[in-house]
Amino acid sequence: MVHAGHFGPMKDEESLEAIAAALDLGVNFIDTSDAYGAGYSEALLGEALKGKRDKVILATKGGNVMVGPNRGKRNFAVDYIGPVMEESLKRLQTDYIDLYQLHNPNLEVIRGGEVWELLERRKKEGKIRHYGVSINTIEEGVAAVQDGRSDTIQVEYNLLDQEPAEKVFPPAQRANVGVIVRVPLRRGLLTGKLILEDQQRFQGEDVRARNFAGEIFKRELEKVKQLRFLERPGRSLAQAAIAFCLGHPAVSVVIPGGRNGHQVRENAAAADLKLSADELQQITELWRGGFSR
């Protein structure tokens, strides 16, 4: 999302630097969507991966309408997903997508949409290798796991929102469904670098203008203060936050955003970190208590 400008203006040079740094570090999973910049992110990624396509497991999503009179709506009809999948393949400059995900469908689609039959056909044709679903609610996550059709689910999970670990991860493990954790840094909050004055620059298409509206941002910053104990020399709060997500046995992969090479390198270093049992206990107690102390 960040490379399509959804977190403020971006320069292509920075985006390409970030992707190159990730590949150099051995990062081999990249997640995008046709919704990010109405295809801009996919097109940028297609250029960046020329000659390197075999180095990554490439995931994208479809179902959010980003252009035309229905902009802002979701459409998981077969006659919509079929064509936009082809458009994604062209923008990504690839013959196949490793993981194609329905981008936040409702329960009706998860439980019985005809689109699943389309995904299975495309898999047999070799255009996609696996398919899954990106979900917004606990109920959707549970339904996607129970249904048995999704190879993966993508869910928000982080130090500030641990509910999926209790209600979604256990059935996912039992069903052998891969878990992709998004928003591990809570849209920048868990980097520990944001201050209250930053709220003024969250404008327009910046997703933080919506997610952190009103008093929400101030309340979330107060919670982050209570997590500062995770910082130490050689380990940033962001790295601890990513390590927390990676440490759960149900989690297959974590997808933090990185604006540039520096951020990507910092994020990737979290893969070598492990939080202590005492730290994990304190994290759980803070969350269960609503960060109210």
**Could you tell me if residue 261 is inside a domain?**
yes
Q: What is the mean pLDDT of residues 12-36?
A: 92
Q: Could you tell me the sign of the dihedral formed by the alpha carbons of 87, 93, 99, 104, in that order?
A: negative
Domain of 250, in residue numbers: 2-288
Q: pLDDT tens for residues 203-234?
A: 666 666 566 767 878 888 899 999 999 999 99
Percent of the chain scoring above 70 in pLDDT: 91
More confident residue, 80 or 257: 80
Asked whether the predicted pLDDT for residue 174 surpasses 90, the reply is yes
Phi-psi sector, 176: left (phi>0), alpha (psi -120 to 50), beta: left
Global confidence as pTM: 0.92
Percent of the chain scoring above 90 in pLDDT: 73
Q: What pLDDT score was predicted for residue 147? A: 79
Contacts of 41 (CB under 8 A, 6+ apart): 1, 3, 4, 32, 33
Strand order in the sheet with 128-134: 29-31, 57-62, 97-103, 128-134, 152-156, 178-182, 251-255
The overall longest dimension of the chain from CA atoms, in Å, is 55
Distance in angstroms (rounded) separating the CA atoms of residues 263 and 268: 9
Q: What is the mean pLDDT of residues 169-194?
A: 92
Q: What is the mean pLDDT of residues 244-257?
A: 96
Q: What is the mean pLDDT of residues 238-261?
A: 95
Q: pLDDT tens for residues 134-166?
A: 999 999 999 999 978 999 999 999 999 999 999
The one catalytic residue in 36, 40, 100, 131 is 36
**Could you tell me if residue 248 is inside a domain?**
yes
Instruction: Please report, for the domain that includes residue 216, its CATH number.
Output: 3.20.20.100
Asked whether the predicted pLDDT for residue 197 surpasses 80, the reply is no
Helix (H) or strand (E) holding 161: none
Whether residue 105 contacts residue 37, with contact meaning beta carbons closer than 8 Å, is answered with no
Q: What pLDDT score was predicted for residue 10? A: 63
Instruction: Return the closest-CA partner of residue 241 out of 258, 226, 262, 227.
Output: 227
Asked whether the predicted pLDDT for residue 8 surpasses 60, the reply is no
Q: Could you tell me the sign of the dihedral formed by the alpha carbons of 150, 140, 87, 260, in that order?
A: negative
Q: What pLDDT score was predicted for residue 206? A: 63
Distance in angstroms (rounded) separating the CA atoms of residues 72 and 19: 28
DSSP letter assigned to residue 6: B
Instruction: Return the closest-CA partner of residue 228 out of 291, 270, 274, 271.
Output: 291
The one-letter code for the residue type at 180 is: I
**Could you tell me if residue 72 is inside a domain?**
yes
Q: What pLDDT score was predicted for residue 90? A: 97
DSSP labels for 170-198?
A: HHHHHHT-EEEEE-TTTTTGGGT---GGG
Catalytic annotation present for 157: no
Q: Which two tokens stand for residue 94?
A: 């690839």
Whether residue 61 contacts residue 25, with contact meaning beta carbons closer than 8 Å, is answered with no
The one-letter code for the residue type at 226 is: Q
**Could you tell me if residue 293 is inside a domain?**
no
**Could you tell me if residue 49 is inside a domain?**
yes
Q: What pLDDT score was predicted for residue 6? A: 54
Distance in angstroms (rounded) separating the CA atoms of residues 247 and 251: 8
Q: What pLDDT score was predicted for residue 29? A: 97
The total of other beta-carbon atoms located within 10 Å of residue 278's CB is 8
Asked whether the predicted pLDDT for residue 99 surpasses 90, the reply is yes
Q: What pLDDT score was predicted for residue 274? A: 95
More confident residue, 87 or 189: 87
- Which region among 9-13, 14-18, 129-133 has the lowest average model confidence (pLDDT)? 9-13
- Which region among 10-19, 79-88, 104-113, 260-269 has the lowest average model confidence (pLDDT)? 10-19
Count up the domains in the chain and report the number.
1
